[in-house]
Amino acid sequence: MSGRIEALWSKRAHRGPMDPRADATLVPNKGMAGSVGRSTRRQVTILSREAWETATTELGAAVDPSMRRANILVSGLDLHDTRGRTLRIGSCRLIIGGELTPCERMEEASPGLQAALTPRWRGGVFAQVEEGGEVRVGDVVQWEPGDLSSRA
């Protein structure tokens, strides 16, 4: 199963706005170049467009996905329960570290959004960059075959 990158965002400052990007460089063991506030565990954050739309439809609210503050918006991939899986985007390999738990900042975007993002990892996932490179909006994203290892 494959999907595609729908959007890319970076953050210049802690609690700062999310800046849309057409492309980005993913740096091994660091994250997205030019985006601040990432830890060694949460180098890159990924959100599913379909999961976001399900949550916001349940709320009856039109909330832009950039409000989730993730780096990468993908379509066509189910991110639920993917800890340890390897996501391939062009030459980049990302190891999914776990669920990106929705925080109280989601309530600032829309009341009830934090709870709506809680089921089935709708809030997205965090990942470590194992192999870096350039990524662009429109790039194909896919799970690496045989990637159900316990790495995380």
Identify the CA nearest to 52 among candidates 37, 64, 40, 35: 64
Are 7 and 20 spatial neighbours (Cβ–Cβ below 8 Å)? yes
Q: Where are the domains of the chain?
A: 2-9+21-143
Cα–Cα distance for residue pair 84/57, rounded to 1 Å:
29
pLDDT tens for residues 105-148?
Answer: 899 999 999 999 999 999 999 999 999 999 999 999 999 997 65
- pLDDT computed for residue 146 by the predictor: 76
Which of helix, strand or coil describes residue 92?
strand
pLDDT tens for residues 12-47?
Answer: 988 889 999 999 999 999 999 999 977 889 999 999
Are 86 and 141 spatial neighbours (Cβ–Cβ below 8 Å)? no
Confidence of residue 88 (pLDDT cuts 50, 70, 90): very high
Identify the CA nearest to 68 among candidates 110, 120, 128: 110
- pLDDT computed for residue 148 by the predictor: 56
Task: Say how many C-beta atoms besides its own lie within 10 A of residue 34's C-beta.
Answer: 13
Identify the CA nearest to 55 among candidates 7, 130, 123, 108: 123
Are 28 and 130 spatial neighbours (Cβ–Cβ below 8 Å)? yes
**What global pTM score does this model have?**
0.93
**Superfamily of structural domain 2-9+21-143:** PK beta-barrel domain-like (2.40.33.20)
Strand 72-75 versus strand 2-11 pairing type: antiparallel
